[in-house]
Amino acid sequence: MDVKKSKATVALMMMFMMLFLVNFPGCFSAASQQPINKKSTHLKPHNGFHSSFLFPVTGNVYPLGYYSISLSIGNPPKVFEFDIDTGSDLTWVQCDAPCTGCTKPIDHLYKPQKHILVSCEHPSCGVVHFPESPHCEKPDDQCDFEIDYVDHGSVLGVVVADVFSLRFMNGSLIHLPLTFGCAYDLKNPGPYDPPAAGVLGLGNGKASILSQLRSFDLTRNVLGHCLSGKGGGFLFLGDDLVPSGMSWMPVSANSKHYLSSPAEVLFDGKPTGIKDLKVVFDSGSSYTYFGFQVYEGVLNLVRESLTEKTLDTVQDKALPICWKGTKPFKSVHDVKNYFSTLTLKFKDTQNIQLELQPEAYLIVTEDGNACFGILNGTEAGLGDLNVIGDISLIGKMVVYDNEKQRIGWISADCNRLPLDSNYKEEIQRPYAANFGILEENHPKTQGSSETNVRVRNREL
């Protein structure tokens, strides 16, 4: 959900400054005030990094179905795993309030304390509910929230503010209070339960963790991720790792999502007649989704290109559309030569294109079949919205620049962290359900309910 910028109270700012000066005494030195140097053309960073955070990523598209990072919350700090999601804003974690529908053992849940509750009258509550207003009987009521996802999953909880422990790329550690959701009622009827403890909302709204860091003037409102097809990758907040030579295009300033310019589909480099696609970039979606007509058109093109090749259709539990060869495939590289490249060509840009090689829309399953990783978005509840998910972002550094309202990408080696002396050279591999785009076409009302009775306004 989009949000409106909150202004920290004097008490909060005093608390932050004390924590910040103790843990990061050099931040106001003259050296720290120098302009950021021009980015290099490669991904290995220069020294410094006084305003960026770098996180190793675990996960994969298949079989796990998600990418995540670990964050420390509380005092003493406790580590939680978060699904990285550029399709939503509010960060939330499963919490013991107690919890209904949580997927983690009770000792792996976040335990909220009453003194960290955000009140209904606090500006942060208005931010979470923007553009609506919070519905509270009394100003000092706790601030409740509800998030609905297009896969019909939903989350209920209460907004809290607790200390996050974050390390800058130069090694300096800070502890500061950030606002997030304590989720005590989860409903997700999809085939997978949420595997992580929560969701890290990285959308362009001001309830996101990144926007809050920007409001403290700690970093630029820029984030990027590099997801590896082998599993893992890295995520960064701030602009120190943004390389030169990227393809940039504007994103809509009036959308709650990272919505591109209209796109045209090319197949094997040739026009298809499929035009004016609304495209959203969403790391919270494992697969790519096209609206029904676009999906059918692209699938037919793929099928027609396979008529002379030794592939047969086969049923596989992993995805709806799959093919088998004369012998089981071991990886996408075994099957990629059977398929052609899809390209999204964006209008109102200087010939900006996103190439989807076969490995950007295919998976190979545990049964050795090749499956089509582009799904019917209309069937999934996305309407005419088209979503570029993780499968189509693998092997690229993708940067979301909220300062300049643009998105960019460049081919990159996502198997290794951009190094400095504070980070390990090898990226951890594996750890995968699908929280993604928030339901915006048909959102539920604050008090609506379906078949299950759900407790709202639960007091902690």
**What domains sit in the chain, N to C, each tagged with a CATH number?**
53-237 (2.40.70.10), 247-417 (2.40.70.10)
What is the helix (H) or strand (E) element at residue 126, kind and residue range? helix 123-129
Q: Do the beta carbons of residue 437 and residue 195 sit within 8 Å?
A: no
Residue type, 397: M
pTM: 0.82
- The strand pairing partners of 387, in sequence order, are 280, 289
Give the other-Cβ count within 10 Å of 37's Cβ: 10
Enumerate the active-site residues.
Answer: 85, 282
Give the residue from 128, 124, 92 showing the smallest Cα distance to 110.
92
What percent helix, strand, coil does the chain show, rounded to 5?
Answer: 15, 30, 55
Collapsing DSSP to helix, strand or coil, 117 comes out as strand
- The strand pairing partners of 444, in sequence order, are none
Q: Which two tokens stand for residue 388?
A: 């570029």
Rounded Cα–Cα distance for residues 195 and 192 (Å): 8
Rounded Cα–Cα distance for residues 55 and 69 (Å): 7
Strands 278-281 and 385-388: parallel
Distance of CA 6 to the CA centre of its chain: 22
pLDDT tens digit at each of 460 positions of the chain: 333 333 333 333 334 344 443 343 333 332 333 333 333 333 433 334 468 999 999 999 999 999 999 999 999 999 999 999 999 999 999 999 999 999 899 999 999 988 899 999 999 999 999 888 888 888 899 999 999 887 778 999 999 999 999 999 989 999 999 999 999 999 874 544 567 999 999 999 999 999 999 999 999 999 999 999 999 999 999 999 999 888 899 999 888 899 999 999 999 999 999 999 999 999 999 999 999 999 999 999 999 999 888 899 999 999 999 999 999 999 999 999 999 999 999 998 878 999 999 999 999 999 999 999 999 999 999 988 999 999 999 999 999 999 999 999 999 999 988 864 344 433 333 323 333 444 433 233 233 223 333 445 566 6
Q: Which two tokens stand for residue 201?
A: 């909302």
Rounded Cα–Cα distance for residues 39 and 41 (Å): 7
Residue type, 151: D
Rounded Cα–Cα distance for residues 376 and 382 (Å): 9
Collapsing DSSP to helix, strand or coil, 36 comes out as coil
What is the helix (H) or strand (E) element at residue 396, kind and residue range? strand 396-401
Which CA distances in Å does 57 have to 148, 229, 232, 243, 321? 25, 12, 5, 19, 29
Q: Do the beta carbons of residue 43 and residue 397 sit within 8 Å?
A: yes
- pLDDT of res. 457: 56
Residue type, 294: V
